[in-house]
Amino acid sequence: MLLNFNVMKNKIIYIIIFSLLVFGYACEKVIEIDIEDAKIKIVANSIIEPDSIVRVNVTRSRHILDNASIIPLNDAEVKLFENDILVGTLVYTSRGNFEIDYYPQIGNEYRIELTHPDFDDVSANTIIPQRVTINDIDTLKTFDEDGYEVYNFYVNFTDPENQENYYYLSMYNKFMAEIWDENLMTYDTLYVGPDTTIVNITQGGYRYSEVKDRLYFDSDDLIFEEDHPGGYGRIFSDEIIDGNSYTLKASVNHWSFYSDTNNVIIELHTINKDLYRYLTSYSKHNYASGDPFAEPINVFTNINNGIGIFGGSSVDKDSITISGSFGYIYYE
């Protein structure tokens, strides 16, 4: 009876395995996804300001499955127009960058037109908004939960009334420091004789120079909407402060200051609506890209027949000095 039981047991196991195999093959279904070949387009990116010459970066778009490096379009033709009058043709420099020695003016309308033999022509229009000035800057030193010093910056400005205004706030620190220069040559005379001079030549060394370092700040100010995609500050609109004076708050940890004298430059960028929509959508896209459960965010573009942004900005700057060396800075 024991032998029959084992035989029966083996038969049952075989039946179960066979059923699983049949069931598995029967339920297997190959789903083919037809991903349309998206048309390759020109990508143009430029933010013009009255304090800088006009620069445009030109590349080409990539397919969703393309892992190749970004390809610059060095042989594109880029033209700049001001109030529908041709200013000139931009000159290629490097890495897809084109520029023209021309400073745009606040309030004027600008257009870029790009052509390339392999792609559709593209164009874009923008305007540089009026600069909004900083009224006052104040500071207050507090301490965090670990007892470390925190510098709170209060930036007051007045928003123009009865119009839509868009901004972002950024900060950087300017100070003197010793930095390593691999091209610096040091000559040390070891011996001077009647017929022979021995000199020790050392390549590389430290030199005292001015350094500009971006400051990444925290804020609990509810007016800020998104982080700048490049980490350069915070973006906001005047929706809740239209026509009023307002004081922005930004907090910087003391470890961000590396010198005995830190000249903190605060920049209030007034940007046009297209640039605001591009920056906020790009920031949301960056956050969503790391979340598998988030809905994809389309980045705003104002490039006709292409991709990218042609935006306008004007900036007002003010500064305040912070004394004391707290952090450590390293240079290669």
Find, among 321, 322, 165, the residue nearest to 240 by Cα: 165
CATH 2.60.40 in the chain: give the residue spans. Answer: 42-127
Question: If residue 152 lies in a helix (H) or strand (E), which one and from where to where?
Answer: strand 149-158
Q: List, for residues 86-129, the tens digit of each pLDDT value.
A: 999 999 999 999 999 999 999 999 999 999 999 999 999 999 99
Q: pLDDT-derived band of residue 294, with 50, 70 and 90 as boundaries?
A: low
Cβ contacts of residue 263 below 8 Å, gap of 6+? 173, 174, 175, 319, 320, 321
Average pLDDT for 202-211? 77
56 has pLDDT over 90: yes
Q: List, for residues 242-275, the tens digit of each pLDDT value.
A: 999 999 999 999 888 877 888 999 999 999 999 9
Q: What angle do CA 29, 35, 37 make, to 5 degrees?
A: 155
> What number of other Cβ atoms are within 10 A of residue 198's Cβ?
10
Find, among 74, 82, 71, 73, the residue nearest to 112 by Cα: 82
> What number of other Cβ atoms are within 10 A of residue 279's Cβ?
28
65 has pLDDT over 60: no
b/e for 116-133, b at 16 or more Cβ within 10 A?
beebeebbbebbbbebbe
Q: What is the pLDDT of residue 223?
A: 97
Cβ contacts of residue 328 below 8 Å, gap of 6+? 255, 258
> What number of other Cβ atoms are within 10 A of residue 240's Cβ?
11
- CATH fold for the domain made of 42-127: Immunoglobulin-like (2.60.40)
Residue type for position 250 = A
Measured over the CA atoms of residue 41, residue 42, residue 43 and residue 45, the dihedral's sign is negative
Residue type for position 101 = D
Q: What is the pLDDT of residue 192?
A: 76
Instruction: Find which of 31-35, 199-203, 251-255, 311-315 is predicted with most confidence, using mean pLDDT.
Output: 311-315
pTM listed for this prediction: 0.79
Average pLDDT for 168-177? 90
Q: List, for residues 137-157, the tens digit of each pLDDT value.
A: 999 999 988 888 899 999 999
Summary mean pLDDT of the chain: 84
Q: pLDDT-derived band of residue 292, with 50, 70 and 90 as boundaries?
A: low
Which structure tokens are listed for 204?
């590389």
